[in-house]
Amino acid sequence: RSAAREYRLLDPEFIETAEMFRVNLYRQDITSNVGENVGDVGENVGDVGENTNSDVKVREKIIRMIESNNKSSASEIAQKLLISKRTVERYIRELRAEEKLVRHGAARGGYWEIKN
């Protein structure tokens, strides 16, 4: 239960039968828990490679967070935006490929530069 709370999941559902038990974990409705800095972040189902409005908003939020702290890690950003670290890493890869973000230095101790 504490791990579910740590990952912002709803309380686990325990189902017991004669031979086994099952634990169901459910995500919270992310739009009901967002703060004023987050907006409507969630998963998108669309055409592969298509940037949706939500994708653009998340990318803009990542850039704003890096502007405020150019040493932000993907984990810190993910935690603040309530999305997975892998999702943040994917957006950062895209921003780097578009040459909007440049990393200077090592993974630890380095910093981000935002290009216009």
CA atoms 51, 54, 59, 60: torsion sign: positive
pLDDT by 10s per residue, the chain, length 116: 888 888 888 888 888 888 888 888 888 765 444 444 444 444 444 445 555 668 888 899 999 999 999 998 889 999 988 899 999 999 999 999 999 999 998 878 889 999 87
Backbone angles phi, psi at 41, to 5 degrees: -95, 135
Contact 81, 61 (CB under 8 A): yes
Q: H helices within 1-116, ranges in order?
A: 2-6, 53-68, 74-81, 85-97
Whole-model pTM: value is 0.54
The pLDDT score that the predictor gives to residue 52 is 64
Task: Supply the pLDDT for residue 101.
Answer: 92
Q: Which residue has the tokens 């935690």?
A: 79
